[in-house]
C-alpha cells in the first residue's frame, strides 16, 4: 500500500544542491524535465538553470517536449573568503559545457564561444580575459540547445578559474538533466535505510512546487508533515522511520538532501521543535515548530549592539559633545542616546533603559532616544546607568551599558542676560520649591548641527620647486567629526587631507583656502598665505651657518700651527 501525501506550496525559489550525491536515484516518465544542481566551493559557485517559459522564471526543473529549443544559463560567482580588496580577484575563467547526444548546441550565446565541436555537443569559453570578478560579482553565459530525442539526458558544465593573491586554481561543476518522458517525474531514495527506495512524485506535473506525493511500498516509513522546509517553494518531508508517529528524518527530494532531525526545545516554550540542516552543509540552520506549524530560522548568535552616543569619558551639554574627561561621562541638559545595532537575520526591536526602567522602544534604525533633562535639586551630580538592549528576529538579545553622571542644571542659567545676582536668586527660588520633583518641562527644539571650525595654519614660506607642507590639524568640530579637508593652493591646484604638501612653480604670494566638512554636512573655510621665493629661505638660513663653520675651522687650524711652533721654540 502506498502512502501519498500531497502538498501545495506558493513561494518560488531557485534551489542549489551538491553535484550527484551518493545514494540518489533520478527517474521519471513524462515530458522533458530539467533538474539543476549547483556546486559550492566557498570561493567559486557554479550554477546552471533553464528558462521556464510557462512561469517566466529561471528555474531548476522544467517540462518540455522533444523537438523544443531550451535556453540554458551558466552563472559563475566569486566569494572572497578573506574579505573585499582589489588584489583579490577571480580571473582566467574557462567554461566547458558538455551536452549529451540528444541535446545540440544551437548558438545564440550571450558571450561568443571560443570553440564549439562539429556535432554541437561541446562548447567552450576559454580564458575569458575581459572578465575579472571581485567579491560578490558574477559572470553569466546563456545559450540555446535543441532537444532531439526522448530519454534522460544529463548535461554537465565544468568551470576552472584562477584566484589572484593566494594564486590558486579552482574547479567546479554543475549539472542539468533533461527528461524526454511522458509520465510525471519522480525521485527515489532509501529514506528509512531498509534497503528499499521510497518515492516522491510530481503528481500535478508542475515542477515549480516540487514533488508533492510520498510513497513507501513496504510501509516502513510515513510522512508526519509535508512543508517547504528550505524556503525554495517546493515540498519537503519530515519522515517517521521508527513507526512511533514522530519524525526522525528530513528529506528534500528536489535537492536530494536527507538528514537526521534533532528534537529539542529551541524557543523555551516547553514544546520540542524539529531542528535540522536544510542544505546538508554541516550547519544546523532551521527548525519546525509544531505549535504554529511553521519553519523558522535557527540562530543562536545575538545581535551586535554598541552605545555610540554619549561616548565614554566626555562632557555633553545640550546634546553637544564639549570636551574629554579623565574618568567620567558627564551629561548636562538633554542628550540623544544613539546605538549602533546589527544582526545577520535582522533586528526586531531596540529598548532603552535608565537605571533598569524601560524608557523607549525603537523598531527602526537609526536607533536612538532623546533623554530629556530635569532640574536636579538635592545633589550637584547624580549617577545613572544607561542600558540599550537589542533583539533579533529569532529572539536572541544583547545589551550595552554606560554609567553617566548628570550635572545639576536648569535651562534659565544659560540665559545671556542673567547676572551673578539673578543667578543666585533663581537658585534660591529653586531651593525653596516644594520637595516633590517638578514635572519634566517640554524638551528643547530641534538640535541643529554646529558647523566645524577650519584652521589652515600659516602663514607659510617656501621656494620654487621645493615642497611646502601645510597643516590643517588644528581644525575641529564640537558636535561631530570632520570627514574631509579640501585645499585650494591659490595657483590653480587643489589637494585633500589634513596635512597635504604642494610644490609651486613660480614665485609670489599665494592665498591658500582650506574647506572642512563635518559628518552632518556642515562646511567652513579658512584662508592663509604662502610666500614663495626664487631661492629657498632654508638655503639662506643655512649659508651663514657654513660661513661660521669655515671661519672657526681656519681659526682652529692657525691655533694648532701656532701651538706646534711654540712648542718647538721652547723645547
CB atoms within 10 A of CB 411: 13
In order of 273, 395, 399, 497, 510, the CA distances from 268 in angstroms are: 10, 11, 20, 54, 73
443 part of a folded domain = no
The whole-angstrom separation of Cα 313 and Cα 319 is: 15
Verify that 71 and 205 share a domain, yes or no. Answer: no
Residue 429 phi/psi, 5-degree rounding, is: -60, -40
Supply the DSSP string of 131-162, one letter for each residue. --B-TT-EEEEEEEEEE-S-EEEEEEEEEEEE
Verify that 115 and 59 share a domain, yes or no. Answer: yes
Question: What is the dihedral sign for C-alpha 357, 360, 365, 369?
Answer: negative
The whole-angstrom separation of Cα 65 and Cα 166 is: 46
Q: Over the Cα atoms of the chain, what is R_g?
A: 38
- The set of long-range contacts for 211-216, using a CB threshold of 8 Å and a minimum separation of 24, is 211/185, 211/186, 211/187, 211/235, 211/253, 211/254, 212/5, 212/6, 212/7, 212/8, 213/4, 213/5, 213/6, 214/3, 214/4, 214/5, 214/239, 215/2, 215/3, 215/4, 216/2, 216/3, 216/191, 216/192
* Mean residue pLDDT across the chain: 80
Mean pLDDT of the region 490-513: 90
- Verify cis geometry, omega within 30 degrees of 0, for the bond prior to 366: yes
Domain boundary, last residue among 180, 215, 247: 180
pLDDT tens digit string along 359-371? 999 998 899 999 9
25 part of a folded domain = no
Q: Considering its fold, how many domains does the chain have in total?
A: 4
- Is 557 or 340 the better-scoring residue by pLDDT? 340
Residue 224 has pLDDT above 90, yes or no: yes
319 part of a folded domain = yes
How confident is the model at residue 456, as a pLDDT?
Answer: 87
Q: H-type helices in 247-350, by residue range?
A: none
438 part of a folded domain = no
Verify that 101 and 116 share a domain, yes or no. Answer: yes
The residue to which cell 513507526 is assigned: 243
329 part of a folded domain = yes
The model's confidence at residue 16, banded by pLDDT at 50, 70 and 90, is: very low
Residue 384 has pLDDT above 50, yes or no: yes
| Single pTM value for the model | 0.45
451 part of a folded domain = no
How confident is the model at residue 540, as a pLDDT?
Answer: 47
What residues are paired with 468 via a beta bridge?
Answer: 502
Verify that 404 and 317 share a domain, yes or no. Answer: yes
DSSP state at residue 301: P
Verify that 316 and 424 share a domain, yes or no. Answer: yes
Mean pLDDT of the region 179-185: 75
Q: What is the CATH number of the domain that holds 95?
A: 2.60.40.740
The residue to which cell 516554550 is assigned: 269
The model's confidence at residue 391, banded by pLDDT at 50, 70 and 90, is: very high
How confident is the model at residue 199, as a pLDDT?
Answer: 94
How confident is the model at residue 41, as a pLDDT?
Answer: 52
Residue 278 has pLDDT above 50, yes or no: yes
Q: C-alpha cell of 534? A: 626664487
The domain in which residue 321 lies consists of 304-429
DSSP state at residue 6: -
Verify that 176 and 38 share a domain, yes or no. Answer: yes
Verify that 219 and 324 share a domain, yes or no. Answer: no
Verify that 39 and 169 share a domain, yes or no. Answer: yes
Residue 162 has pLDDT above 50, yes or no: yes
The model's confidence at residue 160, banded by pLDDT at 50, 70 and 90, is: very high
How confident is the model at residue 83, as a pLDDT?
Answer: 57
Burial 299-319 (b: 16+ CB within 10 A, else e): beebbebebebbeeebbbbbb
Verify that 193 and 330 share a domain, yes or no. Answer: no
Residue 439 has pLDDT above 90, yes or no: no
Which DSSP helix (H) or strand (E) runs through 420? helix 420-431
| From 30-44, 106-120, 280-294, 550-564, the region with the lowest mean pLDDT | 30-44
Residue 192 has pLDDT above 70, yes or no: yes
Q: C-alpha cell of 420? A: 551673578
453 part of a folded domain = no
Residue 485 has pLDDT above 50, yes or no: yes
Verify that 158 and 137 share a domain, yes or no. Answer: yes
What residues are paired with 311 via a beta bridge?
Answer: none
How confident is the model at residue 329, as a pLDDT?
Answer: 92
- Please answer whether residues 273 and 295 qualify as being in contact, where contact means their C-beta atoms are separated by less than 8 angstroms: no
Domain boundary, last residue among 258, 276, 297: 297
Domain boundary, last residue among 275, 297, 319: 297
Parallel/antiparallel/unpaired status of strands 397-407 and 330-332: parallel
Verify that 215 and 264 share a domain, yes or no. Answer: yes
- Is 301 or 489 the better-scoring residue by pLDDT? 489
Q: What is the CATH number of the domain that holds 527?
A: 2.60.40.10
Residue 387 has pLDDT above 50, yes or no: yes
194 part of a folded domain = yes
Mean pLDDT of the region 338-350: 88
Verify that 319 and 371 share a domain, yes or no. Answer: yes
Residue 3 has pLDDT above 70, yes or no: no
Question: What is the dihedral sign for C-alpha 400, 404, 409, 413?
Answer: negative
Amino acid at each position: 500500500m502506498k502512502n501519498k501525501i500531497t502538498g501545495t506550496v506558493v513561494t518560488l525559489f531557485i534551489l542549489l544542491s551538491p553535484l550527484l550525491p551518493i545514494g540518489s536515484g533520478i527517474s521519471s516518465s513524462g515530458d522533458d524535465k530539467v533538474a539543476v544542481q549547483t556546486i559550492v566551493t566557498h570561493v567559486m559557485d557554479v550554477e546552471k538553470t533553464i528558462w521556464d517559459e510557462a512561469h517566466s522564471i529561471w528555474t531548476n526543473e522544467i517540462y518540455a517536449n522533444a523537438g523544443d529549443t531550451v535556453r540554458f544559463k551558466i552563472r559563475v560567482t566569486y566569494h572572497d573568503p578573506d574579505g573585499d580588496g582589489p588584489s583579490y580577484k577571480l580571473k582566467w575563467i574557462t567554461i566547458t559545457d558538455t551536452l549529451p547526444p540528444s541535446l545540440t548546441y544551437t548558438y545564440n550565446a550571450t558571450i561568443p564561444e571560443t570553440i564549439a565541436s562539429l556535432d554541437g555537443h561541446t562548447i567552450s569559453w576559454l580564458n575569458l580575459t575581459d572578465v575579472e570578478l571581485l567579491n560578490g560579482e558574477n559572470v553569466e553565459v546563456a545559450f540555446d540547445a535543441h532537444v532531439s530525442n526522448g530519454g534522460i539526458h544529463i548535461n554537465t558544465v565544468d568551470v576552472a578559474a584562477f584566484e589572484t593573491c593566494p594564486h590558486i586554481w579552482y574547479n567546479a561543476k554543475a549539472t542539468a538533466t533533461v527528461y524526454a518522458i511522458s509520465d510525471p517525474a519522480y525521485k527515489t531514495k532509501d529514506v528509512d535505510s531498509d534497503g528499499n527506495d521510497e518515492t516522491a512524485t510530481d503528481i500535478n506535473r508542475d515542477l515549480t512546487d516540487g514533488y508533492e506525493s510520498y510513497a513507501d511500498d513496504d510501509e516502513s516509513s510515513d510522512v508526519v508533515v509535508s512543508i517547504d522546509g528550505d524556503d525554495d517553494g517546493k515540498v519537503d518531508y519530515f519522515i517517521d522511520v521508527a513507526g512511533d508517529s514522530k519524525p526522525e528524518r528530513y528529506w528534500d527530494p528536489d535537492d536530494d538532501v536527507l538528514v537526521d532531525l534533532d528534537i529539542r526545545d529551541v524557543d523555551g516554550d516547553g514544546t520540542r521543535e524539529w531542528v535540522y540542516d536544510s542544505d546538508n552543509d554541516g550547519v544546523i540552520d532551521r527548525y519546525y515548530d509544531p505549535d504554529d506549524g511553521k519553519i523558522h530560522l535557527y540562530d543562536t548568535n545575538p545581535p551586535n549592539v554598541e552605545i555610540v552616543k554619549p561616548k565614554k569619558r566626555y562632557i555633553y551639554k545640550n546634546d553637544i559633545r564639549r570636551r574629554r574627561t579623565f574618568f567620567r561621562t558627564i551629561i548636562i541638559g538633554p542628550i540623544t542616546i544613539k546605538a549602533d545595532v546589527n544582526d545577520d537575520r535582522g533586528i526586531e526591536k531596540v529598548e532603552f533603559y535608565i537605571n533598569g526602567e524601560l524608557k523607549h522602544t525603537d523598531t527602526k534604525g537609526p536607533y536612538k532616544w532623546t533623554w530629556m533633562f530635569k532640574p536636579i535639586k538635592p545633589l550637584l551630580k547624580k549617577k545613572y546607568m544607561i542600558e540599550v538592549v537589542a533583539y533579533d528576529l529569532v529572539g536572541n538579545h544583547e545589551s550595552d551599558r554606560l554609567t553617566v553622571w548628570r550635572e545639576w542644571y536648569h535651562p534659565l542659567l544659560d540665559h545671556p542676560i542673567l547676572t551673578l545676582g539673578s543667578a543666585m536668586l533663581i537658585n534660591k527660588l529653586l531651593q525653596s520649591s516644594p520637595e516633590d520633583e517638578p514635572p519634566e518641562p517640554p524638551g528643547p527644539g530641534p538640535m541643529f548641527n554646529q558647523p566645524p571650525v577650519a584652521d589652515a595654519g600659516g602663514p607659510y614660506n617656501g621656494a620654487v620647486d621645493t615642497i611646502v607642507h601645510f597643516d590643517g590639524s588644528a581644525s575641529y568640530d564640537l558636535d561631530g567629526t570632520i570627514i574631509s579637508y579640501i585645499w585650494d593652493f591659490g595657483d590653480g591646484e587643489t589637494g585633500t587631507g589634513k596635512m597635504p604638501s604642494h610644490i609651486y612653480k613660480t614665485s609670489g604670494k599665494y592665498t591658500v583656502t582650506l574647506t572642512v566638512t563635518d559628518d552632518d554636512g556642515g562646511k567652513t573655510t579658512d584662508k592663509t598665505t604662502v610666500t614663495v621665493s626664487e631661492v629657498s629661505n632654508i638655503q639662506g638660513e643655512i649659508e651663514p651657518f657654513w660661513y661660521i663653520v669655515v671661519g672657526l675651522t681656519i681659526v682652529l687650524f692657525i691655533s694648532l700651527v701656532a701651538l706646534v711652533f711654540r712648542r718647538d721654540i721652547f723645547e
